[in-house]
A and B are shown apart, each in its own frame.
Chain A
Amino acid sequence: MRARGVRVDRRRFLATSVTSFAAIVSGGCDRFSASPTFREFLAGAEGLNQRVQRALLWRGALAREYTPADISPNFRANGSQDAYNLPAGYVEQADKGFLEWHLQVDGLVTKPASFTLADLRALPARTQITRHDCVEGWSCIGEWTGPQLATILDRVGLRPDARFVVFHCADELPRYVDGSHAFYESIDLIDAYHPQTILAYEMNGVPLPVAHGAPLRLRVERQLGYKMAKFLTRIEVVNRVDHIGRGGGGTWADDGYEWYAGI
């Protein structure tokens, strides 16, 4: 019985050693994570990822496109999905086909313009079946249709000092959470002019459902899903993004996620 007792003790000792070691590492790292300087140091890897990926990637490299047979039967929606985080009357407007909705395009452009849904549908459209990779880890494949962002930027004409394209959204989740700016996101001109960067008004052949950002959402196929802003209301061309929201360049970036979400 003694031998057995020793064995149990040894097993317990091993288990305790492993869990204590992990807990010390985890707790120690919590202290580091709480330090803004250290976090900024670690987050330097984001800049490295962006520079290396941009250097390695041919700028026009396309994300893989799939066949209709590959479309996921159950495409998960994430973030704001219903009336709860949307302005009053938004879902009713969706039911009527967004007749009063329009997309304002302004900022560092030569000819600011406003597009109704009919205007956007009249533009040349691109249809692409692509994989949507969520930062959480899952992927879904869907078909998206809409004009290339480049078409719209060419219509309004960029001024020479333009550097980023900011997407303002109807989604008010961040306003409810911390009273900040409504949901926004931004990309640079490399992604803005990428052929697969489109403003999608259709998903899987039907008008974009509210859960996926009706009536218009951004698709930036070489980045993670959280960059693909939903419920678009305004596109603003800017030179810098640090005066918008909390200055991170997007609601998720303000929340600690990478602005460049290529990995």
Chain B
Amino acid sequence: MGKTVAQKIFDAHIVDTPAPGVSVIRLDRVFCHEITTPIAINDLIARGKDRVFDPSKIKAVIDHVTPAKDSKTAEQGKTLRDWAKRRNITDFFDIGCNGVCHAIFPEKGFVRPGFTVIMGDSHTCTHGAFCAFAAGVGTTDLEVGILKGVVAMHTPETIRVAVKNRLPEGVFAKDLILEIIRTLTVNGATDKVIEFSGEAVAAMSMESRMTLCNMAIEAGATCGICYADMTTVNYLWPFISGEFADKDAALAAYSKYLPDPDAEYAATIEIDAAKLEPVVTVNYKPDQVRTVREMTGTKVDQVYIGSCTNGRMEDLRIAAGILKGKHIAPGIRAIVSPATSDIYRQALKEGLIAIFADAGFCVTNPTCGACLGMSNGVLAKGEVCASTTNRNFNGRMGKGGMVHLMSPATAAATAVAGVVTNSPLFKK
């Protein structure tokens, strides 16, 4: 029987099989941020094991609360900063050159097809967009990853999502993944990997593929995976050009991680992209999805554009395109957080920051900020936020707040209208 992408990557990384169905695999990357790593560092110190398995494979960033908002977050940043210095972790990104983890690490070319990646963050599944196996873990798994460069995993089964046809104009990867989560439900892919395949995915940019894989965890999945193709190679080329004679050689090397034609799947789900329209979540679960048409007119207090889901260049360009020459509706407030410092600088160069500012947006530095309700736009009780983030859980952006998840296009149009509405890009 043929193998899925995850099976091929596991096979290439197995260190031990401590019990049936459990594999201990070697890690190519361990990513760290300042919320879940400091307790691992402190525990290693307490155990007299303040070591790292390989500083060149560990990458760290301060992203969740940056700049620090109080003494406690300052302490978390300091713990990570001091550790990176002490343990010679040279790929460490601090204020001024930092960004949301799942945006900055791919941007720096740290993830390659066939890699294994863990991070103490559930949205680590984002990196599967590069045909890698990338899983969110807790602090203990992270700690062992830092110390030993291994993780234990139940060998996951794979669900294949086959997306036929192309997305219509004005319908984006965010709309597609929300539709997929609605179909699978919030635990429909628990303990499983999702392979995203089909014409619509093949046609997507790497940024859109990252949006797609980012929310795989919202269906419970361990990782979302897209297939390596020329789009992947082109994105990575600045980082890999020294390793391969040409792009075709790179693609040939990466193709060994494509699934076998007779690979065995736990399930295959078919979605017709051509039939989709923009969607938005309701209530407190990401699988509760309605069309924007059904939700049109829902009043919002705040619009938030940013996060590891939708704070990349492509997202800012789409939103700015809609906001150009317009102003946000009276009585609402809007925030945009470019996901990384490089994205911020590029948006500045392209005049996008000016468009946002002229439209009445508050432009913040790159940070997770409001996405998890820690800073930069926390909601008050009873307030409603139209957001490009990935979680609408009760209390996620602030106790008593309601979050409606949507694409950057819908969020920008909603900012202008003051109520949930379809973007002018969607014509139907």
Chains A and B belong together in one complex: no
Residue positions of A touching B, CB distance < 8 A: none
